[in-house]
Copies of this chain bind each other. A is one copy, B any other.
Amino acid sequence: MRERVVVVGAGFGGLFATRALRRADVDITLINGTAYHLFQPLLYQVATGILSEGEIAPPIREVLKNQDNVDVRLGWVRDVDVNAKTVSVAGPGIDYTVGYDTLIVSAGASQSYFGNDAFAEHAPGLKSVDDALELRSRIFNAFELADLQTDEDKTDRWLTFVVVGAGATGVEMAGQIAELAHRTLPGQYKHIDPHRARIILVDAVGAVLNTFGDHLSTRALRQLHLLGVEVELDTKVVGVDATGIEVETPRGHQRIESMTKVWAAGVAAPPLARRLAEATGAGTDRAGRVLVEPDLTLPGHPEIFVVGDMMALDRLPGVAQVAIQGGRHAAGQIKRRLAGRETGQAFHYFDKGSMATVSRFSAVASIGRVRISGFLGWLMWLAVHLLYLVGFKNRLTAVLHWAVSFLGRGRSERVSTLQQGFARAAVREYGDPFTRERAGAGKAT
C-alpha cells in the first residue's frame, strides 16, 4: 500500500502541498469544508460588488483535475486521533474516518473578536464567501435604506460605515466603500447624496498598514485621506451593537452611530488547532495557533505538519505566501523521506513582500527593502493578481470586471440574496412575498 497523506483544508497551504505532491508515490486525501478553493485576499472585491464569488473560488476538483493521486472529499475535520492516526470528519449527513501515514493540517483561521463574540452579528468579518455576500448586502442596502429614511439622524446612521482594523483587508474595504460612495453611486438616489457617506477606519495601534513600515504607512494614510476616509488610530473598540459602535479614543470615550460595521481586526485559529495542541503537547499562542517545530511538525509527531494561518512560528504573518511556502515545505519533507533522504529540515520563509490596494490606481507594496506606492504599486498589484488568476484559468471575466470598476465606475456584481443582510430580518418579520405567503402576510393592514 502506498503512503497515505491526508491534507486538511484546501486553502493556500493545503492546495499547494497537494500540488507539490503531484508526482510523488503517495495517495492523497484532501478534505475541505467547501468544494472550492478560496482566494481570500480578493474577498473584499466580492463584498464591494466588483467580482462574483465564482471568480475567486474555483472548484478544487477543477484545479486538481489532472492530478491522479488525490481524492477530494467534502467534510469538516472534527478531530485527529494522533495515536490511531485517523482523522474524523463530519460531512453533511455523513460522518467518516480517514487513516493517514502523514498528515498536513492547514485549516486556516477565522475572524477573532477578542472574546467579544457578540460583536459578530453586528460587524461581520471577511473570511468566507458567506461573509463577503453578507457584507455586500449590508453595504449596498445601506444606501437603499438611507434613501428611505425621513429622519436625518437615521439617514446619517445608514450612511456611516465603520471598518475595524487597519491592516490590508481593512484598508482595502474602507477604500472600496469610499469609491462606491464617491464614484459609483452618486446621481442614482433621489433623497440622498452618497457623497455624504462617512467611512471611518479605526485601529487600536497608531498606524495603518502597521506591518508595512513607516514610509508606506504614511503614504497609505495620505491616500485614504484623499479618498475621504476618516482614520481613527490609537482607538480601541469596546462595544458594537445594531446601531453603532463604542470606542476609546485618545480623546476619551465616544459613540459612533453606524448601521454598517466591518470587522477586519484579528484572527483566531479554529478549534482543531487546540485539539492538536492538546493531543501532542504542543503549545498555542494567544490567537490559538499551534506552536510548531522548526520543520513545521508537532513535537514527537514528525508525521504531522501544521501550515498556514493555523501555525505559529517565528511570528510569521498570516498571509498567503507563508501558507504556500509552508505547504510546499511539508510536501518537500515527505518527498525527501520517500527518496530515503534525511528529513527534519527547518522551514525558511522567503518574504516575497506584501501589498495592499488603497484604491484603484493606487497601492502600496513592500518587496525586500524596496517600497513602492501609488500607480506603480497598483500596476504591481495588478500583475501579481493577474498571474494568480491565470493560474486557475477561465478568469478572464475577472479582468473584465476589473476594467468595469477601475476604468469605469460600475460594479457588476451587486446582487444580495434574501438570506443575507437586512433582507433576512425582513423576511423573518414579514414573510417572503415573492415566493409564498407565510405567517407574516397577515400582518399587512
Contact = CB atoms under 8 A, between A and B. Distances in A.
Interface of A: 33-36, 49, 52-55, 57, 59, 61-62, 65, 71-79, 88, 90-94, 96, 107-108, 110-111, 113, 117, 120, 125, 127-131, 133, 140-141, 144-145, 147-150, 185, 187-191, 268, 270-272, 275, 394, 396-397, 400-401, 404, 410, 412-420, 422-423, 425-426, 429-430, 433-437, 441, 443-445
Given A93-B425, A435-B128, A78 B430 contact: yes
Given A52-B54, A54-B412, A145 B110 contact: no
Contact of A433 (B52, B76, B396, B429): B76
Given A400-B397, A416-B34, A62 B430 contact: no
A49 B187 CA distance: 34
Given A54-B412, A61-B188, A415-B54, A434 B270 contact: yes
A81 to B, nearest CB: 9
Nearest to A56: B415
Contacts of A61: 185, 188-189
Counting chain B CB atoms within 10 Å of each CB, which of A73, A397, A420 scores highest?
A397
B54 A148 contact: no
Contacts of A275: 444
Contacts of A128: 418, 434-435
B190 A71 contact: yes
Contacts of A189: 61
A275 B410 CA distance: 39
Nearest to A79: B444
A430 B76 contact: yes
A57 B415 contact: yes
Contact of A133 (B144, B417, B433, B444): B417
Given A91-B426, A415-B53, A141 B74 contact: yes
B88 A188 contact: no
A147 B94 CA distance: 11
A111 B435 contact: yes
B425 A92 contact: yes
Contacts of A426: 76, 90-93
B93 A36 contact: no
A394 B410 contact: yes
Contacts of A107: 433
A217 B261 CA distance: 54
Nearest to A443: B78
Given A52-B53, A71-B190, A271-B444, 13 more contacts: A34-B416, A35-B144, A77-B433, A92-B426, A93-B145, A111-B436, A117-B436, A133-B417, A270-B437, A271-B433, A272-B433, A394-B404, A419-B420
Given A394-B412, A433-B270, A145 B443 contact: no
Contacts of A71: 190-191
A424 to B, nearest CB: 9
A205 B65 CA distance: 42
A36 to B, nearest CB: 6
Nearest to A125: B435
19 contacts: A33-B433, A33-B434, A53-B417, A55-B412, A62-B188, A78-B443, A78-B445, A90-B430, A92-B423, A92-B425, A93-B426, A94-B148, A94-B149, A110-B435, A111-B436, A125-B435, A271-B444, A394-B404, A397-B397
Given A74-B144, A133-B417, A435-B125, A422 B92 contact: yes
A159 B133 CA distance: 29
Contact of A145 (B34, B92, B272): B92
Contacts of A93: 145, 422, 425-426
